Amino acid sequence: MAHALVRLYDGSLGRLDAEPLVRKLMVWVEQFTTSPDKTVHRIPFANAVLLPWHNVSAPAPVKKMLMDWFLCHYGDPRIPQKNVYQWQGVDGLAVEVMLAWLAGETVKAFVQILEKTADVTWRYRQKFWMAYIDANHVDDAWLALGDDALREVKINLIQNYRLGYGSLDGAQKNQSVLIIKIKNLIFTEWSHSGSLRACNINNINAPKLRLMHYDADLLRNIISLDFHDGANENPELRHHHPGRGTWQIKARDFIRHHAGIYLRDQDILL
């Protein structure tokens, strides 16, 4: 088995970029007396299994299989105090694969929460942000949940251990914030009549991901980059006329201008 793993690492068995091969590998690994994360194979195994999916869309079954396995054996890379050891030394690009997959789960959870807490724009936000998730453009995501959303999570999403979130203090009970990283941009997407704001990641005031508590006033007071090219008194973007695609197209064009990423209208609009 050790010899076969070495052949896997040096590439002589080919890249693990096909669902049947990944599935066979993970079934085989479960037969090991000692899991790879408990042996000298901890780093090379993670690199070999995750790196083929960097900037590549993984089939949903592969994504779920690997995400579940690595969360169980290596822990959550977003919460270092809970996995002091397992992810250390693993290639940063392999860790980015896990962070991107977990970001997708976080965005999905945000949309679920919007739906269940009566935000009428949830379908439009789902279409917009999942387009960037599915195109592998979202690097990381985290939630700041208000009281209603926290209650919803505890009732219906408590077993979703892939969800990353902290609490949001000082906001309306029904409001929550999705914090999302795309290249050099950090977005705060507010629910329930809140606005979309953006900061450059190098801005000292840019919102931080993976905090356990967020202050709503501090998040609101961060001056956003301008979504309107100076044509509006307020630089942030309100979710006006989602059925006509007004805010979605502005946000899409903003991301193209600042991050060099372009999606088509049909990708982002219902």
Residue 33's pLDDT band (cuts 50, 70, 90): confident
Least confident range from 61-65, 119-123, 193-197, 246-250: namely 119-123
Token pair 């000082």 is found at 170
Q: Note whether 76 and 195 are same-domain residues.
A: no
Q: What pTM does this model have?
A: 0.88
**What mean pLDDT comes out for the span 197-224?**
95
State the residue range of the domain holding 32: 2-90
* Residue 155 resides in a domain: yes
Q: Note whether 175 and 236 are same-domain residues.
A: yes
**What mean pLDDT comes out for the span 217-236?**
94
A 10 A CB-CB count for 210 gives 14
Residue 193's pLDDT band (cuts 50, 70, 90): confident
Last residue of a domain, one of 90, 121, 150: 90
* pLDDT over 80 (residue 158): no
pLDDT value of residue 162: 66
* Residue 220 resides in a domain: yes
Instruction: Please tell me which of 14-23, 40-49, 79-88, 195-204 the model is most confident about, judged by mean pLDDT.
Output: 195-204
Number of structural domains (the chain) is: 2
Q: Who has greater pLDDT, 11 or 229?
A: 229
Residue 1's pLDDT band (cuts 50, 70, 90): confident
pLDDT value of residue 226: 97
pLDDT value of residue 54: 92
Q: Note whether 138 and 76 are same-domain residues.
A: no
**What mean pLDDT comes out for the span 139-154?**
90
Q: Note whether 7 and 119 are same-domain residues.
A: no
Please say whether the dihedral angle defined by the alpha carbons of residues 205, 206, 210 and 216, taken in this order, is positive or negative.
Answer: positive
Q: Which residues pair with 181 in a beta bridge?
A: 140, 186
Q: Note whether 67 and 14 are same-domain residues.
A: yes
Q: Which residues pair with 166 in a beta bridge?
A: 144
Angle at 34 between CA 31 and CA 39, to 5 degrees: 135
pLDDT (tens digit, 9 = 90+) per residue, 83-133? Answer: 568 999 999 999 999 999 999 988 888 888 888 887 888 899 999 999 999
How long a stretch of residues is the chain?
270
Residue 189's φ and ψ, nearest 5 degrees, are: -105, 105
Q: Note whether 199 and 251 are same-domain residues.
A: yes
* Residue 44 resides in a domain: yes
Q: Which three-class secondary structure string do you get for the chain?
A: CHHHHHHHHCCCCCCCCCHHHHHHHHHHHCCCCCCHHHCCCHHHHHHHHHHHHCCCCCCHHHHHHHHHHHHHHCCCCCCHHHCCCCCCCCCHHHHHHHHHHHHHHHHHHHHHHHHHCCCCCHHHHHHHHHHHHHCCCCCEEEEEECHHHHHHHHHHCCCCCCCCEEEEECCCCCCCEEEEEECCEEEEEECCCCCEEEEECCCCCCCCCCCCEEEHHHHHHCCCCCCCCCCCCCCCECCCCHHHCHHHHHHHHHHHHHHCCCCCHHHHCC
* pLDDT over 80 (residue 6): no
- Residues 159, 165 contacting (CB under 8 angstroms): no
Q: Note whether 257 and 146 are same-domain residues.
A: yes
Q: Note whether 86 and 202 are same-domain residues.
A: no
